[in-house]
Amino acid sequence: MAFKKGQSGNPAGRKKGVTFTEKLKTALEPEIDGIISALVTQAKMGDTAAASLLLSRVMPTMRDQHRSR
């Protein structure tokens, strides 16, 4: 079957809610509290990757305020 210009190979499109992101969100939702608690615990024990992940999600990037604009 040859490709025809202007004709989609999937005219119905992707079904709603079946993307990888949606599946991942659905699977992780019941575990979010435990995951966050584990990240906080790891960060307190010195895990810099866990601390970096947490801080990157809750704090904006700090910028030099003395720069001329």
Query: Residue 47: is its pLDDT beyond 60?
Result: yes
Kindly indicate the confidence band of residue 4, based on its pLDDT and cuts at 50, 70 and 90. confident
Kindly indicate the confidence band of residue 67, based on its pLDDT and cuts at 50, 70 and 90. low
How far is the C-alpha of 55 from the C-alpha of 45, rounded, in Å? 15
Lowest-pLDDT choice from 8-12, 18-22, 38-42, 50-54:
8-12
